[in-house]
Chain A
Amino acid sequence: MPAKVLALAFILCLVAGGAVRADTLATVKARGSVLCGTTGQPLGFSATSVNGTWSGLGADYCRGLAAVVLNDPSKVSFITLQPEERISALAGGRVDALADLLPWNLTEDTEQGLLFVGTMFYDGQGFLAPKSAGLRSARDLAGKPVCVDAGSPAEADLAEYFDANNISARVTPEPTSEAAIGAYLAGTCLAYSANGSILANARAQLPAPADNVLLPDIITKTPLGPVVRQQDDRWFDIARWTLYALLDAEELGVTQTNVDEMLGSDNIQVRRLLGVESDFGAEIGLNKDWAYELIKGVGNYADIYDRNIGEQTPLKLPRGLNALWSRGGIQYSPPVR
């Protein structure tokens, strides 16, 4: 075999070996920006642009990545994607992350070449109903029509829930969510059932949002979270600890407003988080003040929640399950230590 052919084969082998192990961190640093794919739906959760400003839980998460890697939350380019192309765009390296939060389940987690970073929002199927109906719980829907998107998982889950709890409500499938909301407005059905993220958006679009309530019952679990592609452990660690640091900061009372003041804190946990004591950034290829840049740039988890979907926004979603574990919710993160 001629030496040239051998040399070529060797180079090909090296390239192939290298291609398997992507180094997103190096790519992002060299480019000077994080590329985040977004479909824009649903509002408040994915990244959507209003007058050139991108907002949403996912948008702020992407800004957080830019803050920890590039020390500047504005170094993000949002790339609009169709829902069907977002996975291939991520897997193929067109984007570094998604600003969409995807539903974390066995199929999504294992069959798409993705890794879920964690849960940014615990969603689940609930009920939207008129305040005037005076419903206290889903039990009061007995004998009443409840609209749901036909053919969606929500339809089967709703029927199963009523069946399992002996509630004789009438499941009324509508061909689209627009049709379901139309039927709800027209009074054809007393309630509309879908995931909380969808219901909060539907309510915000109604003529008089405040006249409608979300019932307390949540009948399914749909954890929503950021995803990264597989086979890049470093980038996965960065993505994971960006999310965890947002939660840790809330737990420790470090906010976007007080983060500079907190640099002088006596609390060892705060000092570790902000890089005043020890260097944890080095573990993920970043500077020791990576989490300071994060909180300074986008705030802690509560700051992000309140800004995008909280009580002061049109979506008015209570923290519920998304409260910290220490305050009655289940949002929990390991410590920066």
Chain B
Amino acid sequence: MRRLALIIWRLALIGALVACFASAAMAATTLETVRARGKLLCGAADPLPGFAQENKDGRWSGFDVDFCRAVAAAVFGSPDKVDFIPLTGTSRFALLQTGAIDLLARDAAWTMRRDAGYGASYVGASFFDGQGFLVHQSLNVVSAYELNKLRVCVLDGGDEVLNLRDFFFQNQAAYSEVLYEDRQDLAVAYEAGLCDAVSANVSWLYAMKRQLPDAAQHLILPERISKDSFGPVVRDGDDQWLNIVKWTLFTLIDAEEAGITADNIGSLAAAKTPTIRRMLGLEGRFGGALGLSPDFMKNIIAGVGNYGEIFDRNFGPNTGVPMLRGQNALWTRGGLLFAPPVE
């Protein structure tokens, strides 16, 4: 009997030992997992024109998609090794935690709750947003401070309506609220003339404007009455992956600042500027600590272009509905986009 107990005890210990080592081995890094799979799994919240849209051949494009492609270029040297997965509902963070996706290119705005609370971290801001106003050109205003005596469609029950009340109260201007619970209703109501303006996050107003049949007849006013930013999100517990995604974003911004583009990158081999030489892998040796090749920055820029090129491709004049750079201009040009240097 005692002998049997000892055998059971040993078996139990062996089981525990195997489980312990297995859990250590299972903690394969995200980079290893992505490499072994041969492609990146990149998620984003709801499809949104300009940010993420699917064409009739099932091919995704957009600002978020380009960021995913940039990470794929950093890891594989090729921007095409990525599956883009549109996500709806509230399970996005869970999918990140379980490893069903490797990163979220865009989710809801960066807040403390989302940054600290769901086992995930924002790597930085890739898009500065904020609540603004969409109006018809015929209203003849160029600034939100001119808005007076009009009907504003706004989402009920959240911060948007509070911000709106605050804004009109501060400006001593008159308005009436037309409240809805669903974002789609705002668009329908505005198009049907049930309100004169829509107030919501500019990224969303922009997407809405693109879908209007007479987009050029509508205007997003320059003011922002709230502070919101969006950025890529990774799961906690893998700082190497956090750094890979973070420095992919910083590379896009630094490349624009240094004037390196997808077009001119091939002609810069003789460049003397140290920043350019470092980013092209001609000087210094970067990337090793990230588990990436020394030319990962070159691969990012050659694969998708710099931040400005991505912005123009998805929101520029060729889309027919240009978006102003505004806060998303480089810090050297009046915006807020800043990245630490490649040194």
Using CB atoms and an 8 Å cutoff, list the residues of chain A in contact with chain B.
Answer: 1, 3, 6-7, 9-10, 13-14, 16-17, 103-107, 109-111, 115-116, 119, 122, 153, 156, 160, 164, 220-223, 230-231, 233, 236-237, 240-241, 244, 251, 268, 280, 283-284, 321, 325-326, 330, 332, 334-337
Using CB atoms and an 8 Å cutoff, list the residues of chain B in contact with chain A.
Answer: 6, 9-10, 13-14, 16-17, 20-21, 23-24, 109-113, 115-117, 119, 121-122, 125, 128, 159, 162, 227, 229, 236-237, 239, 242-243, 246-247, 250, 273-274, 286, 288-290, 327, 331, 336, 338, 340-343
Bound CA span A105–B275, Å = 12
Task: Label chain A's interface by main secondary structure.
Answer: helix
> Are A330 and B290 in contact, CB atoms less than 8 angstroms apart?
no
A335 and B111 in contact (CB under 8 A), knowing A105-B343, A110-B247, A156-B274?
yes
- B20 neighbours in A (Cβ, 8 Å): 10, 13-14, 17
Bound CA span A334–B116, Å = 12
- A284 neighbours in B (Cβ, 8 Å): 116
- B6 neighbours in A (Cβ, 8 Å): 3
CB distance from A193 to the nearest CB of B (A): 16
CB distance from A161 to the nearest CB of B (A): 11
- A337 neighbours in B (Cβ, 8 Å): 111-113, 159
> Are A268 and B162 in contact, CB atoms less than 8 angstroms apart?
yes
For this complex, 30 residue pairs linking A to B, each with C-beta atoms less than 8 Å apart, are A3-B10, A6-B17, A10-B13, A13-B21, A14-B20, A16-B24, A17-B23, A17-B24, A104-B340, A105-B343, A106-B341, A111-B289, A115-B242, A116-B340, A122-B338, A160-B274, A164-B273, A221-B338, A221-B340, A221-B341, A223-B340, A231-B239, A233-B119, A244-B112, A251-B227, A268-B159, A280-B112, A330-B336, A335-B112, A335-B227
Q: Residue of B at shortest CB range from A332? A: B336
**Cross-interface CB contact of B340 among A1, A10, A105, A240, cutoff 8 Å:** A105
> Are B340 and A332 in contact, CB atoms less than 8 angstroms apart?
no
Q: Residue of B at shortest CB range from A107? A: B343
CB distance from A272 to the nearest CB of B (A): 9
**Cross-interface CB contact of A321 among B16, B119, B331, cutoff 8 Å:** B331
Bound CA span A234–B184, Å = 38
Q: A17-B24, A334-B125 are in contact. List 12 more A-B contacts (CB 8 A).
A: A3-B13, A14-B20, A107-B286, A110-B243, A111-B288, A119-B338, A220-B341, A280-B112, A330-B331, A332-B229, A334-B115, A335-B227
- A251 neighbours in B (Cβ, 8 Å): 227
> Are A110 and B111 in contact, CB atoms less than 8 angstroms apart?
no
Q: Residue of B at shortest CB range from A157? A: B274
- A268 neighbours in B (Cβ, 8 Å): 159, 162
- B288 neighbours in A (Cβ, 8 Å): 111
- A334 neighbours in B (Cβ, 8 Å): 109-112, 115, 122, 125, 227, 229
- B13 neighbours in A (Cβ, 8 Å): 3, 6-7, 10
**Cross-interface CB contact of A6 among B14, B286, B290, cutoff 8 Å:** B14
- B17 neighbours in A (Cβ, 8 Å): 6, 9-10, 13
- B229 neighbours in A (Cβ, 8 Å): 332, 334
Q: Residue of A at shortest CB range from B331? A: A330
User: Nearest 8 pairs between A and B by C-beta?
Assistant: A13-B20, A6-B13, A105-B343, A233-B236, A283-B116, A283-B117, A334-B110, A104-B340
